[in-house]
Amino acid sequence: MKIMVAIKRVIDYAVKIRVKPDKSGVVTQNVKMSMNPFCEIALEEALRIRESGLASEVVAVTMGPSQCLDTLRTGLAMGADRGIHVDSTSALHPLHVAKILRNLVQIEKPSLIILGKQAIDDDCNQTGQMVAGLLNWPQGTFASKVVLDKEKEEVTVDREVDDGIETVQLKLPAVITTDLRLNQPRYATLPNIMKAKSKPIKKFTPQELNVEIKSDLEIVEVTEPPKRKAGVMVSSVDELIEKLKNEAKVI
Amino acid sequence: MVNRNCRATLRLLTLINRQGHPHPPLSSSPSGHISHSYLILPFSIAFVFLTVLCFYSGTGIDACWKQLQRNNVHGEHKIVSFFSPLASSLKTRQWGVKIQSRCYGSASVLVQRNPKFSKLNDEDVRYFEGILGAKNVIQDDEKLITANTDWMRKYKGSSKLLLQPRTTDQVSEILKYCNFRCLAVVPQGGNTGLVGGSVPVFDEVVVSLSAMSKIISFDKVSGILVCEAGCILENIISFLDSEGFIMPLDLGAKGSCQIGGNVSTNAGGLRLLRYGSLHGNVLGIEAVLADGTVLDMLKTLRKDNTGYDLKHLFIGSEGSLGIVTKVSILTPPKLSSVNVAFLACKDYSSCQKLLQEARRKLGEILSAFEFLDSNAMNLVLNHLEGARNPLPTSLHNFYVLIETTGSDESSDKQKLEAFLLGSMENELISDGALAQDINQASSFWLLREGIPEALMRAGAVYKYDLSIPVEKMYNLVEEMRSRLGNDANVVGYGHLGDGNLHLNVSTPQYDDKILSQIEPFVYEWTSKHHGSISAEHGLGLMKANKIFYSKSPETVKVMTSIKKLLDPNHILNPYKVLPCSSIS
C-alpha cells in the first residue's frame, strides 16, 4: 500500500514575521524557511504506518520553486522513500495544489493521502478538503489519532472538533489531514541524511500534469494586526468604573 | 559508634533522620545508607566542639559575630530546603546558639564579619529615602530574602536593606554616603552568579541595578548598543533581534541575568568561540567608584588608544572595584543561516579530533562547540520536562553540540552535512541528528543549557568551572569519578571549543566528607596542569582564597594595590574575589 504525503516549504514557525513596507506581502528575504509543522506531523504519521508494516512506500510531494528541494530532502532524510517535486515559480493556491495532487494520484495511485491540516503561512485549511472533493474520496480532517485496518481497508480517525473528539471510519482510499496532537515528528539523523542522497526525486511541471495555474484570487493588502496598547494603572475603583464606562464603553 | 549521651548530638541525630530522603537515592544499593551513618560521627564531634566553643566565647562578643541563618527562624523552612548546607548539619534554631562565623558548603574557610564596617541605622535609611524616594528603599522581608539568597540557594546573607537606584547620580550619592559611613555594599544584578558573588555575606547593603533597565541608543550601521546595566540579557536580545543583530554573548541564565553583571563578571557563555570575550566586545563603560566618583568611559568607538584602558579593570572585577552603571557593546549582525547538530561520540579523544576537524572544515561558520557526557545527558532527560533525546536508539558516552552561523543557508547546510558525513565515515562520530527547523534547534540547545537546572533538581551540587588544556580535560572527570566512587554522580560538560570544563558533583545532600574528597584536589590538579580554577564563573565568595592556584603572589599583590587605590575602605563587595589575608 502506498501513502502520499504533501509537504510545504514555509517561513519557519519560530521566526518573527514582518510585513513588507509596500504591504504586498510578508518579508521572505533572508528569512529561515523550513517544513510546515503540520506537514512534518503528516510525514511522521505516514512513516509510522509504514514501520508498523501496513504500508510499503511513502512518497513525499512538494510544489514550488527549486528551493523547495531542500524541504523535500528533509522529508527524505526523515524517512520517505521517494520524492516528487512539482516545479512552479508562480504562487500556488489551495485549489491549484489540490488539482495537481489529484492528477498525481492518478499516476501514483496511493491508497492514503496525508496532509497537514493547514500551512502556517496562509492558514487556509482548504487543500486536504479540496483534494478529497476532487477525488471523491472520504476525508478525516484534524486527525489526532489514526488507526489503519489493512484487511478491512478502513481507517479510523479521531477528529479534533470544537465540541470535542469525533471518531469517523473511512474506507480506503482516503484523505487525512493532521492536527498538532497526532504525534511528535522525529529528528533527521545522519545515517538517514546519508541515505536520502540516493533516494530518487521525480520532477513534474503543472503543464505536464494538465493543470492551469490561473489565479482567481488576488491578495490586495497585507497589514500587521494592531499593536497591543499599554495597560493603564488606575488609582481607585471609581476611576476604573469611570474608564470602563467612558473609554472602553463596556458598561 | 555514636556518642548518644550528649543531648545536642541526640537532637542532631533525630533531625538528620527526620530530614529523610525525599530525593531518589544516588544509587539504589544499600551503600548509600551506610555512608550516611558514618557521617554522623564527624558531624557530632565537630558540632559538640563548636557548641562548647560558642558557649565559652559566644555571648560576650556578639556584636561582631553572626547568628547563623537568623532569617530562617520564623517559618521560612521552605527556603532552607535540602540545598542548604547548614540545615542538615547544624541546627541553630533549636538551640538558639550563636555560631561564631559563617560556614558554607563549598569551602573550608570561615569568614568573619569585618568589625570596621558600620552597622546600618535608621538615620542611614532615612538618608537613602531622601535620595531615592521611599519606594526604592526596601526593607520588606520577602524581597530581602530573594536579594539575600543566591540562585543555587547555597549562600545566604542577612542584609537588612535593598536599594534600587534609577540613575547613575543616585548610585553615586549612595556610594558616597556609604563610603563616608563605612557601610559595606554589594552590587547586585540578576543574582544568577554561581560563586556567591552577588549576595551579601553578612549585613552589607544591597544595591540592585534592576531599576536601571533602559536601552539608551542603538546605531544600526555599526551595531553599537548603549544601555543601562540593569537590562536583562534576554530583553536586549529580543530588542536586537527586531533590528537584525544579536548579542555577542549568550548563556543559559539569559532570562534573568543583567548586562551589568555579565560585564562585571566577564561572562563567557556559548558564543565565545565565535565572537570572543567581553573584553573585546565592550567598547565603553560608565562606572561609579567607591567614593561616588563617576567614571564616564562610555565611548562608542572601536579604536581609542588614548591612555590606559581602564574599562578592562571593571570587566571581570565582580563589582569589587566599582559599580557598572552603563555599558556600550558591539553587537554582531544577525546572520540568517543557523544550523545545529547534535552528535554522539564514543570516547573523549574522538570529541577532541572532532573539534580539530570542525575548526578546519567549518572554519568561519562555526559558532558553538559544546560537549556533555552520558551522565549529564541522563540527568537532563530525567529531570527536565520537554527534554527529548534525539538519538534514542542507543546509549553513547559523549555528546557534542555544534552550531554554525552563516549568511548563506544552502551553502552552510551543505558544508555542515559534508563535514558530518565525513566525520561519520572516519568514525569520529557514531550517530547524530541535524535540526531541520528553529524548534528542533532549540530542543537540542535545551539539552545543553538545561544541565545546570537539572543538577539543581537532582539534589545538592558542587560546581567547578575550570580551564584545562583540551587533551587533559576529561582526565579530571575520570579521576574524580574514581575518587568518589558510588558516593556521588560526577558530571562533566562544557565549552569544549574554549577548553572550559564544568565539573559538577551531584549528591543527594551537601556532605563535608565528599567536599573534602573534591577540594583541594580539584584545584591542585588544575594548578598542576597550568589551568584556571575559574574559567568564567569568577571567584566570588566561593573561591576568594583560592586565587593563588592560578595567579602568582606578585600578581595578586598588584591586584590588591589596585583595590586599595580604587576602594580604600573596601566597602565594595567585601570578602570576595581577593583573599581575605591580603586585604587588611
Mark yes or no for CB contact B421/A193 under 8 Å.
yes
Question: In what side-by-side order are the strands of the sheet with A188-189?
Answer: A188-189, B431-434, B337-345, B398-406, B366-373, B489-495, B500-507, B460-467
Return phi, psi of residue B297, to 5°: -115, 35
Q: What is the pLDDT of residue A90?
A: 87
Q: Where are the domains of chain B?
A: 122-208, 215-330, 337-539, 545-582
Scored b (16 or more CB within 10 A) or e, A153-171 reads: eebbbbbbeeeeeeeeebe
Interface test with B, best of A78, A121, A187, A224 (most B CBs within 10 A): A187
Alpha helix segments (H runs only) across B244-396: 259-264, 272-275, 278-281, 311-314, 348-361, 374-383
Q: Model confidence over B451-463: pLDDT tens digits?
A: 999 999 998 899 9
The pLDDT tens digits of the residues spanning B282-318 come to 999 999 999 999 999 998 998 999 999 999 999 999 9
- Put simply, the answer to whether A30 touches B336 (Cβ < 8 Å) is yes
Question: What is the DSSP-derived secondary structure letter of residue A214?
Answer: -
Q: Is the pLDDT of residue B23 over 50?
A: no
| Chain segment A124-137, per-residue pLDDT in tens | 999 999 999 999 99
Taking an 8 Å cut-off on Cβ atoms, the answer to whether A190 and B437 are in contact is no
Residue at grid coordinates 544600526? B220
pLDDT tens sequence across B385-409:
888 898 887 888 999 999 999 988 8
Res. B560: pLDDT tops 80? yes
Give chain A's largest Cα–Cα span. 73
Q: Which chain B residues have a beta carbon less than 8 Å from that of A15?
A: 438
How much is the pLDDT for B82? 36
| Cβ <8 Å between A188 and B429 | no
Helix ranges restricted to H, A6-53? 37-51
Query: B390 and A184: CB-CB below 8 Å?
Result: no
Burial of B163: CB neighbours in 10 Å, binned 0-12, 13-18, 19+: buried
| Residue A70 placed within a domain | yes
Report the percent of chain B where pLDDT is more than 90. 64
Left if phi > 0, otherwise alpha if psi is -120 to 50, otherwise beta: which for B540? left
pLDDT of residue B583: 63
CB pair distance less than 8 Å for B421 and A13: no
User: How many CB pairs below 8 A link A and B?
Assistant: 70
Give the tens place of pLDDT for each residue, B113-147. 999 999 999 999 999 999 999 899 999 999 999 99
Q: Does B394 touch chain A (CB under 8 A)?
A: no
Residue of higher predicted confidence among B519 and B175: B175
Average pLDDT of span B411-427: 91
Cβ of B433 within 8 Å of Cβ of A30? The answer is: no
To the nearest 10°, report the CA torsion of B166, B168, B173, B175: 100
What distance in Å separates the CA atoms of residue B489 and residue B455, rounded to the nearest whole number? 10
Half-sphere CA count of B525, side-chain side, radius 13 A: 23
On whether residue A41 sits in a domain, the answer given is yes
Average pLDDT of chain A is: 92
In sign, the C-alpha dihedral spanning B566, B568, B572, B577 is: positive
* pLDDT at res. B1: 41
For residue A69, give the chain B residue with the closest CA.
B410
Query: Nearest CB to B421: which of A15, A37, A190?
Result: A190
A contact test, residue of B239, B423, B436 with most A CBs within 10 A: B436
Q: Which residue has the cell 494520484?
A: A105
Rg (CA), chain A: 22
Neighboring chain B residues of A30 at a CB cutoff of 8 Å: 336
**Which residues are registered as beta bridge partners of B324?**
B287
Contact A190 B439 (CB under 8 A): no
Task: Answer whether B433 touches A (CB < 8 Å).
Answer: yes
- The secondary structure of residue B544, as a DSSP letter, is T
- Higher-pLDDT residue of B56, A123: A123
Instruction: Answer yes or no: do B436 and A187 touch at CB < 8 A.
Output: yes
Range of the domain at A19: 2-224
Strand pairing class (B500-507; B489-495): antiparallel
Contact A189 B337 (CB under 8 A): no
Cell triple for B142: 520577602
Question: What's the pTM value of the predicted model, to 2 decimals?
Answer: 0.79
B438: nearest CA partner in chain A: A14
Mean pLDDT across B181-185: 94
Domain CATH number, residue A58: 3.40.50.620
- Do residue B437 and residue A34 have CB atoms under 8 angstroms apart? yes
User: Nearest CA to CA, how far is B48 from chain A (Å)?
Assistant: 57
What are the chain A neighbours of B420 within 8 Å (beta carbons)? Answer: 190, 193
CB A223, CB B453: distance < 8 Å? no
Give the residue carrying C-alpha cell 536579594.
B147
**B148 sits in which H/E element:** helix B141-148
Give A169 to chain B, closest Cα distance, Å: 33
Nearest CA in chain A to B238: A16
Contact in structure between B230 and B212 (CB atoms under 8 Å): yes
Portion of chain A with pLDDT greater than 90, in percent: 69
Q: How confident is the model at residue A66 (pLDDT cuts 50, 70, 90)?
A: very high
Alpha helical stretches, state H, A109-246? 127-135, 190-196, 237-246
In chain B, the largest separation of any two C-alpha atoms, in whole Å, equals 76
Give the residue-averaged pLDDT of B480-507. Answer: 92
Closest by CA to A127, choosing from A225, A61, A70, A69, is A61
Q: What is the pLDDT of residue B181?
A: 93
Instruction: With beta carbons under 8 A apart, name residues in chain A contacting B392.
Output: none
A87: left (phi over 0), alpha (psi -120 to 50) or beta: beta
3-state secondary structure of B513: helix
Q: For residues B356 and B499, is the Cβ–Cβ distance under 8 A?
A: no
Partner A contacted by B123 (CB < 8 A): no
Report the alpha-carbon distance of residue B103 to residue B517 in Å, rounded. Answer: 18
User: Residue B584 — pLDDT band, cuts 50, 70, 90?
Assistant: low
ω into residue B24 within 30 of 0, thus cis?
no
pLDDT at B111: 85
For the stretch B522-543, pLDDT in tens is 999 999 999 999 999 999 999 9
Go through B393-414 and write b for each residue having 16 or more CB atoms within 10 A of its CB, e for each that does not: eeebbbbbbbbbbbeebeebbe
For the stretch B550-565, what's the b/e string if a residue is b when 16 or more beta carbons lie within 10 angstroms of its beta carbon? bbeeeeeeebbeebee
Q: What is the CATH T-level fold of the domain B122-208, as seen in this structure?
A: 3.30.43
Q: How far apart are CA B118 and CA B203, in angstroms?
A: 10
Q: Is the pLDDT of residue B89 over 90?
A: no
Chain B partners of A188 at a C-beta cutoff of 8 Å?
433-434, 436
Q: Output the nine-digit C-alpha cell for A74.
A: 528533509
Query: Is A191 close to B431, i.e. CB distance below 8 A?
Result: yes
Closest CA to A137 of A166, A99, A111: A111
Residues 6+ apart with CB under 8 A from B391: A189, B342, B344, B399, B431, B432, B433
Position B51 pLDDT exceeds 70: no
B413 with A187: Cβ contact below 8 A: no
Q: How many domains does chain A have?
A: 1
Domains B122-208 and B215-330 are alike in CATH topology: no
Please tell me if residue B435 touches chain A, with a CB cutoff of 8 Å. yes
Complex prediction ipTM: 0.85
Q: In this structure, is residue A210 part of a structural domain? A: yes
How confident is the model over B171-188, as a mean pLDDT? 95
pLDDT in tens, B308-344: 999 999 999 999 999 999 999 999 999 888 999 999 9
CB count in 10 Å sphere of residue A243: 14
pLDDT score of B172 more than 80: yes
Query: In this structure, are residues B216 and B227 in contact, taking their beta carbons and an 8 Å threshold?
Result: yes
**CB count, 10 Å around CB of A238?**
9
Q: Give the per-residue pLDDT at A24.
A: 87
Query: In which residue are the cell numbers 543555587 written?
Result: B152
C-beta atoms of A32 and B438 within 8 A: yes
What's the pLDDT score for residue B45?
Answer: 52
Q: Is pLDDT of B230 > 90?
A: yes
**A169 versus B25: which is more confidently predicted?**
A169
> B25 pLDDT band (50/70/90 cuts)?
very low
Nearest residue, CB atoms, B431 vs list A16, A35, A190:
A190
Q: How far is A186 from chain B (nearest CA, A)?
A: 8
Domain-located, residue A160: yes
CATH number at B215-330: 3.30.465.10
Cell numbers placing A6: 504533501
Task: State whether the Cα torsion B340-B346-B352-B358 is positive or negative.
Answer: negative
Nearest residue on chain B to A74, judged by CA atoms? B436
| CATH of the domain spanning B337-539 | 3.30.70.2190
Spatial distance between the Cα atoms of A245 and A232, rounded to a whole number of angstroms:
15
Identity of the residue numbered B268:
G
| B438–A34 CB contact, under 8 Å | yes
The per-residue pLDDT for range B348-370, each reduced to its tens digit, is 999 999 999 999 999 899 999 99
CB of A179 closer than 8 Å to CB of A161: no
Show Cβ contacts of residue A133 under 8 Å, excluding neighbours closer than 6 positions: A98
